[in-house]
């Protein structure tokens, strides 16, 4: 009984968020008087209305959060900097996309193909992660980061010129199993991605708080010392890089299903740097930081895209200058929130506690 209370006390915030997110599609539906299932036209639903719109926004946020959390596991908790993490994200999308689209797999049931795609993503991303991880045996710091950049860049160049996935335009996925198709049954995709998001969050939190996580952090602080104490640091780095790669691949699948496409720009280093920035802005080495960083930036992007601001006689189309605004956000956050939003908040709170 006592421990249950303790659990509630420590985790009330997460539980509250969990409950809100479970109810979220219905909540929005109720508030805006739209159905969470969309609008019924004949025998199928059309994805119209506020609720389904917000579901899409949240699905994207979940996918990005999983990606950024996985990046944070490697970068924030283990201290391994990679410039190639988006490769896993993009690959997840391509694997599922090719399985669903390529005619040679047409004989297999689509749901099964999706499942195979998930397994294949985990296996392939795991194997590539392992391979890249082994390079970290010899490559440290910037050299490792640039090595991952090189590998990811090659994969990106390959897919942006691969005819069967339409090169730079990317692969459009039309053969989606109906039960998870975001243009027919978005609510299912919402809950699937929500479950994946929650599981990832819990998994990473438990992993980092376990003895294994303690070694991760020891490696981050000083790899040589961790090695000197007797830890087989390569094994732990391999573990962090591989697990991070797998989660990024899964995040990529959600993203590809929602977008119904797999595109080369999500393999690119630019996208890795985006997730790096989301990690830093949220707070490196915190649990909620990556979620807040990725969701916050995505929501800002999404909400500001179509806004037009008129100040006096000048009209600024925010969508057009979004990248510029993003650039300023980076610079300002880096200068003002040196530990990211969550990190700075935690420090501020700790400072207040110390004083009182």
Residues that bind another protein (CB under 8 A): 81, 135, 138-140, 142-143, 146-147, 149-151, 153-154, 157-158, 161, 269-270, 273, 276-277, 280, 321, 323-324, 326-331, 334-335, 338
Distance of closest approach, residue 135 Cβ to another protein, in angstroms: 6
- As a whole number of angstroms, the distance between CA 107 and CA 114 comes to 13
Distance of closest approach, residue 92 Cβ to another protein, in angstroms: 21
Query: Residue 189 is encoded by which pair of tokens?
Result: 């995709």
By beta-carbon proximity to another protein, the closer residue of 26 and 140 is: 140
Distance of closest approach, residue 336 Cβ to another protein, in angstroms: 11
Q: How many CB atoms lie within 10 A of CB 219?
A: 23
Measure the CA dihedral 266/267/269/275, to 10°: 50
Could you tell me if 155 and 91 are in contact, meaning their C-beta atoms sit under 8 angstroms apart?
yes
Query: Residue 109 is encoded by which pair of tokens?
Result: 């049931």
Distance of closest approach, residue 277 Cβ to another protein, in angstroms: 6
By beta-carbon proximity to another protein, the closer residue of 134 and 203 is: 134
By beta-carbon proximity to another protein, the closer residue of 116 and 146 is: 146
Query: Residue 163 is encoded by which pair of tokens?
Result: 């005819």
Distance of closest approach, residue 321 Cβ to another protein, in angstroms: 7
Distance of closest approach, residue 93 Cβ to another protein, in angstroms: 21
Distance of closest approach, residue 59 Cβ to another protein, in angstroms: 26
- As a whole number of angstroms, the distance between CA 71 and CA 241 comes to 9
- As a whole number of angstroms, the distance between CA 102 and CA 116 comes to 14
By beta-carbon proximity to another protein, the closer residue of 328 and 348 is: 328
- As a whole number of angstroms, the distance between CA 190 and CA 196 comes to 10
By beta-carbon proximity to another protein, the closer residue of 194 and 266 is: 266
- As a whole number of angstroms, the distance between CA 232 and CA 139 comes to 16
By beta-carbon proximity to another protein, the closer residue of 259 and 286 is: 286
- Cβ-Cβ contacts under 8 Å for 37 (sequence gap 6 or more): 45, 52, 185, 187
Burial of 349 (0-12, 13-18, 19+ CB in 10 A): exposed
By beta-carbon proximity to another protein, the closer residue of 47 and 284 is: 284
């Amino acid at each position: 009984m006592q421990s249950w209370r303790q659990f509630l006390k420590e985790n009330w915030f997460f539980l509250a968020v969990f409950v809100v997110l479970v109810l979220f599609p219905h909540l929005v539906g109720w508030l805006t008087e739209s159905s969470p299932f969309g609008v019924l036209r004949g025998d199928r639903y059309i994805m119209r209305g506020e609720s389904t719109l917000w579901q899409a926004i949240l699905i994207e946020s979940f996918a990005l959060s999983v990606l950024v959390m996985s990046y944070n596991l490697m970068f924030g908790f283990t201290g391994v900097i990679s410039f190639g993490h988006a490769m896993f994200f993009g690959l997840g999308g391509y694997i599922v996309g090719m399985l669903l689209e390529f005619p040679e797999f047409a004989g297999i049931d689509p749901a099964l193909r999706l499942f195979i795609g998930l397994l294949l993503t985990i296996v392939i991303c795991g194997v590539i992660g392992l391979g890249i991880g082994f390079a970290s045996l010899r490559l440290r710091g910037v050299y490792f980061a640039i090595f991952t950049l090189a590998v990811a860049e090659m994969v990106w160049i390959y897919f942006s010129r691969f005819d069967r996935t339409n090169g730079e335009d990317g692969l459009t996925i039309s053969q989606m199993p109906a039960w998870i198709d975001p243009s027919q049954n978005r609510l299912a995709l919402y809950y699937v991605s929500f479950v994946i998001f929650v599981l990832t969050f819990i998994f990473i939190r438990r992993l980092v708080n376990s003895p294994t996580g303690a070694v991760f952090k020891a490696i981050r602080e000083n790899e040589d010392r961790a090695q000197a104490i007797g830890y087989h640091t390569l094994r732990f780095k391999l573990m962090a890089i591989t697990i991070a790669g797998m989660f990024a691949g899964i995040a990529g699948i959600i993203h590809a299903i929602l977008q119904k496409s797999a595109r080369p720009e999500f393999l690119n280093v630019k996208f890795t740097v985006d997730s790096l920035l989301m990690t830093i802005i949220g707070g490196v080495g915190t649990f909620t930081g990556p979620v807040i960083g990725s969701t916050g930036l995505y929501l800002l992007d999404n909400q500001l895209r179509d806004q037009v601001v008129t100040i006096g006689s000048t009209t600024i189309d925010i969508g057009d200058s979004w990248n510029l605004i993003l650039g300023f956000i980076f610079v300002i956050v880096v200068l003002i929130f040196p530990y990211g939003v969550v990190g700075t908040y935690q420090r501020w709170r700790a400072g207040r506690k110390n004083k009182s």
